[in-house]
Amino acid sequence: MLTLAIITVNKSTNNKESVTVPLIKSKPPAEFIQKRYRFDKSLSDEVNLYCNWASIKNENQFFEEAALYILKKDKDWQKVKDKVLKQEIHSNLP
């Protein structure tokens, strides 16, 4: 389960208090295209638990956010994407 722990310190007593919040927050739907995927049951069960815990009503949002996170953080993908986009721009020039 992915969670973000926020540690707050009470300066007067030096007590630490841990609060967990979901990395994915519920949001209204936007324009979608429909895809179909298959997952291992244990993954599906854990995604269901996470969505319930994070008050995410639509599991599709979980997978969309997870995909966006990977696409943003994968440095090798960013290099390939930049190269492909540059090639497309050059191929569309007169």
- Cα→Cα distances 1→18, 23, 67, 74, Å: 16, 10, 16, 20
In one-letter notation, the amino acid at residue 7 is I
Tens digit of each residue's pLDDT (9 = 90 or more) over 20-66: 777 777 777 677 788 899 999 999 999 999 999 999 888 888 998 99
How many domains is the chain partitioned into structurally?
1
Asked if the model's pLDDT at residue 4 lies above 50, the reply is no
Asked if the model's pLDDT at residue 7 lies above 70, the reply is no
> Is the Cβ–Cβ distance between 48 and 57 less than 8 Å?
no
pTM > 0.85: no
85: domain range?
3-91
Of the candidates 29, 30, 4, 31, the residue with the CA atom closest to the CA atom of residue 19: 4
